[in-house]
Structure 1
Amino acid sequence: MAISTTTYYLRIDRERTLRLYPTAERGSIFALEQRTRAYDDDNATTSMGGEVGGGNSNTMSASDRAQLLVDSFGSRKKQKVMNSRAANRVNVHSVVGSGDAMMRSVTEQRGISDENRRVMMEEGGNEKVHQVDAAYEQARRRMLPQYDVDADVPYKVYNAQSMAGVLAWEKTSRIVEKVLEKRVEATADGGDGGNKDWIAALLGKKEEHRPLSLTRLLESIDPARKGSNYRIKVVLFLHFVLKLHAKIQRGRGGTIEGGTLDDCIGKVFVPHEVGMRLFELFMSEREGGGYVASPQQKTKLHAHILVLYVIASGKEMSVPSINQLCRDMKLDAKEASLVLREAGFTVKKNGSGDVGAILSVPLTFPPPKRVTRT
């Protein structure tokens, strides 16, 4: 303020006395302490309905505090920005009949899918699962084959037919049925049924090119026994999956070169219906042509192979050793054990070094591995 030709600045001290002091030179005077101006009750309500009037900062939201600071100390440009934001903000309690309903909907998790609600609830209770556990469950479902947590027997947890899909399973079934029909005809003609012949018809004539683990598995199955057809179909589908796995390993960076999808499937040497399903599950189209398997898709492929191998071993969902399968896959047995444990299996190593796996119900998965900082 100016009086005559002398410039003064105003001071109000703690005793509430008004004093005027002449300024020594031109410049700006800033108060070390400043009180915020009064606000309307409509603008002084926190997001949870608490009032900020009366100077109670404990009930004040972060956005309200920012608004008060800008109004008192901010530039005009900043105040305009904050006022514009405040004008676009709607207080949920100002919406008639909707405030309580919205809050209740959030707390009760309405509007989410049954699957997500199941993930967010612990079994046998109403306590919410930690967000890390929910994210871990979603990642597990992306990696593992489809599973039934409510299965009452182990062989119902995983289903090879659902893994293969309708078209691929039908194609696999037709091949197996045709081979077994020829075996029956050979037996009727006075032969021994040709155990070697029907296995060769499924896995290939050259033994050195067959996965030894699958050859031994088929040799342990009696085709004439009830229920054996299903196991043989699982073995054949697993054989197709292993062909894709071997092709990915031979490719540079997990890629399969080809101008079209049909070209890439042809290089795996599997039926077209089966190849379509395998590329859908484990491969992604690559820019510039061809298909590639990401590290996550490779882990998913390992999980499907290991689970299929256990299914093919019988309804008990138990295998005494996965070592030969790991050698056929060129996969470390420890890594395979980790994948099986993530799939709910109990994995044990015996005295001879064989790694066995068994699945039990109710299905349980290992807890998330929380990284602790030191």
Structure 2
Amino acid sequence: MTRAHNFNAGPAALPLDVLEKAQQEMVNFNNTGMSVMELSHRSKEYEEVHNEAISLLKELLQVPNNYEVLLLQGGASLQFPMIPMNFSPKDKTANYVLTGSWSEKALKEAKKLGETRIGASSSDSNYTYIPDADTIETEADDAYVHITSNNTIFGTQWQDFQLNTNAPLIADMSSDILSRPVPVERFSLIYAGAQKNLGPSGVTVVIVKKELLETAETNIPTLLSYNTHVDKNSLYHTPPTFAIYMLKNVLQWVKENGGASGMEKRNQEKASLLYDVIDNSNGFYKGHAEKDSRSIMNVTFNLATDELNKAFLDEAKKAGFVGLNGHRSVGGCRASIYNAVSVESCKALQEFMIDFQQKHQ
């Protein structure tokens, strides 16, 4: 079987070992005579899967004991309104740092629910950079400061998290969670849809500080309260059991391959393969992101003309590369090189890019 070189932005590549394990266990999980999808979420067999996923997240991300780890549904998009509903009281203002489309969407939802401000934005350059930490405006009445750690569409990523604020720091890490070690203790809440680095779509990871939970609003719908899910170990209602099973298997794979530090080394190697081609192409390939803001998850670039972009994408597709189309707001090309994308796939793309330039310059 020939596997595609999968550079999709999400849902994205999954480790082959994980897929093969799921294939083997598909109709008879743990000698139950059933698929994990058929198990009751109240059964001992499923609860072991559920709790192991949470335990692995805590281990791999080195989550301190004063945090809760939740497995929710609705993707990052449901977190956009949940966060202000829980943590933005009427006498405070939610502060958003805009670095791309997803932070814009998070702000849009927060505006419907309370007062907001924009602490900084790189929209002036079509989001080619991450604002310097010392340019981010914060105020004493900030309910929280919200950032998006990696921007899939524009190919930018926060390099560190040294923000000058006493307000709770909240991060959408949907597209780079577990791609590198992260200082969880600097954040009051981290959330991430699983479908890029952690597993298939359907489950959302939330890591939230207990101190922040103590301040949560209470007069909100039960299902939209974080404390509901804390109290019930993310089993208040039927969870996405298969997605959590796959999450657990991906986390085991990450652990076996060096944990967050191992992923960072691997991802930096993959990103360097592609950025080196861009930087040494004499302008044939032009990266969208400024060098000091480049993402190791999403490599975004354009060629000189729309015709060349189209030719590149057409030839790449014929050569077995999938998902290289750039987002319409940036155009051009995008290689999403999440944890499960192999070094070999990135080397193959590197060689294709060099060959394409030689044929078309």
- The bucket for the TM-score relative to the shorter chain is under 0.3
* Structure with greater proportional strand content: 2
* Structure with greater proportional helix content: 1
